[in-house]
Chain A
């Protein structure tokens, strides 16, 4: 088992973390959000530290967010582009780990299409490993930034009803959010066609499954829309974008069923007119841009905290 808990120098997932372990990340991120706005982030917090972004999947958004987070704290940030590296020449993940280890990097941010790749890497390197999304397993910094965004609006993370809509079955964002929100004491509703929300997903814990979008949204405090990958149609899980939008698209009418103060969230990038209507994405209830802003703050907090935990261990 990979290390977990407050003393772990890695952040591989949210599963297994308690509220007491989650809150310090959010508190630190909250302060970094304020400092970032006033352009007074402590540029020496990670001075002399090296952060390597090792992205096996293309992701401009998450990679840029980690890069900014590292730079705002004064770290040296290297982006390893897998397309031009030896990884593409057949090097195994563990050989890459050995190479990076020898380079003495401090923080290793990894995104990989295979579930469990960051956990495997974490067993072989001295650096702190941050999971920036692995397969359909977890995306812990996304869950933390979503939680921070929600907490800033409601002042709490317990007793809320959060509807996560769409391709839950293939979503690492959904899994991390389910773990985090249920650990904090909120109710999670999952909604989508049964091909995308398999009944086995209920085994993740205290979640309610819906296939009727209207019912799932009634009274919700937060509505999280997930991206529908085009591949899902090719794979025969959904017939077409227009049918998907008809039954599972987040539009004005459906949003009106949620609580009047409900937040609209989306991890991006959005397919307007597929999982979310344009006017909803751009509405006053949408906090999608704020999620991106909190993303940088959360990643600053994660890099900072893990780096300090490593120093102490």
Chain B
């Protein structure tokens, strides 16, 4: 029997609202007691010195390169980056090569996650075969195999009738359909949001309305079908106001955003910096402020890293040709803590909120649950340095930025899987 006792830690459990100094006991990989006064014999006692102990973070939107482009990020390298960011649970996107449109591949990813011993992996199932937007994938069989939700990743379902059919079909499975909210014909070929800056740089542009157009259509379809719809990486004020309105009407809609959309603007593209190229693209300051407001008022349900690994050759290209997306696992906590929210509210967006949305048993400090834990110092400042991040991919948009809030130790089922300073 292996036991750990965390003493003198600030326990924060957003699910129960708990925030205060306490004690947590782990036995055999499970949370055995909160505030227990017994120290099991032979227990390893950790003095937190007042650092925060919270549930291991749950990241609901992660792209890994496995299977198919392990040179960008494998499950193992991705897991190393995750635990360095305090993340112990990841929902991974299905637009790999091959796509996760087959029950056997869902099993494979879950097992590969377990093999790392660091994280639990919950695959998304493809909405359409090959994530190609043509034939419906076997949503029911994928769900039985363990797919937590369905999406085509970074491709929007373009055809309205197909989207209606997918939403309608998902209802008998009570499955969550996740849409990439960008009207594809407007977004095609674009790499920057329509603005004076993009005009000056001469970059092909997509209007921010492309997001609102897709959101408006899909909200109507969700209402029509009664399905559960989720929008990934929302980035505009207009889309947020549509979602806010729909939620008030009782439509079953949720959304997430990612750190670049509340911590950066199009100005960060600067002199054609491809590490600041995203899909959807970075927006105006007004949109960024609206995303912060959406986080504060609950319109945005979850913050996800939107980790999108790329290797140097993917990014060392003219801006329009470079691969979109940035790494986000190691920086998720630090950037989110800087969004101006109360600590417990910021952590809710990273723990129980995504876990509940995907129906994953994680993200809570409860006796009997797996001891997936993150110990972090909310006041320690560290500098992001591309090239020395954990994991394989180094394409962080936050290179050089100082973040407040540093992960000290991460535990998966009571096993210490990350210790600050231990990695190169």
Contacts and interface: CB of A to CB of B under 8 A. Distances in A.
B136 interface: yes
Contacts of B168: 193-195, 198
Nearest to A235: B165
Contact of A243 (B138, B161, B162, B165): B138
A211 B140 contact: no
A233 B169 CA distance: 12
B390 to A, nearest CB: 38
A242 to B, nearest CB: 7
A198 B163 CA distance: 15
Contact of B136 (A212, A236, A247): A236
Contacts of B135: 233, 236, 239
A34 B169 CA distance: 46
A246 interface: yes
B402 interface: no
Contact of A246 (B136, B140, B161, B172): B140
A194 B225 contact: yes
Contact of A237 (B165, B172, B225): B165
A251 to B, nearest CB: 15
A239 B136 contact: yes
Contact of B140 (A235, A236, A243): A243
A211 B172 contact: yes
Given A194-B225, A236-B162, A246 B169 contact: no
A211 B161 CA distance: 21
B171 A246 contact: no
Interface string A247-280: 1000000000000000000000000000000000
Interface in A218-245: 233, 235-240, 242-243
Interface residues of A, number: 18
Nearest to A244: B140
Contacts of A199: 226
Interface string B122-147: 00000001000001111111001000
Contacts of B141: 242-243, 246
Contact of A195 (B137, B144, B165, B226): B165
A239 B137 CA distance: 5
A202 to B, nearest CB: 13
Given A242-B141, A246-B141, A194 B136 contact: no
Contacts of B136: 236-239
B166 to A, nearest CB: 8
Among A198, A233, A237, A239, residue most surrounded by chain B Cβ atoms (within 10 Å):
A239
A252 B161 CA distance: 35
A247 to B, nearest CB: 5
A55 to B, nearest CB: 31
B138 A194 contact: no
B281 to A, nearest CB: 30
A210 to B, nearest CB: 9
A42 to B, nearest CB: 50
A245 to B, nearest CB: 11
B151 to A, nearest CB: 15
A195 B169 contact: yes
B138 A242 contact: yes
A247 B165 contact: no
A239 B139 CA distance: 8
Contacts of A194: 168-169, 171-172, 225
Contacts of B172: 193-194, 211-212, 247
Contacts of A236: 135-136, 161-162, 165-166
9 contacts: A194-B172, A195-B168, A195-B169, A238-B169, A239-B129, A242-B138, A243-B140, A246-B140, A247-B172
Given A233-B135, A243-B140, 6 more contacts: A195-B168, A237-B136, A238-B136, A239-B135, A242-B141, A247-B172
9 A-B pairs with least C-beta separation: A211-B172, A239-B136, A243-B138, A239-B138, A194-B168, A194-B171, A195-B169, A195-B168, A236-B165
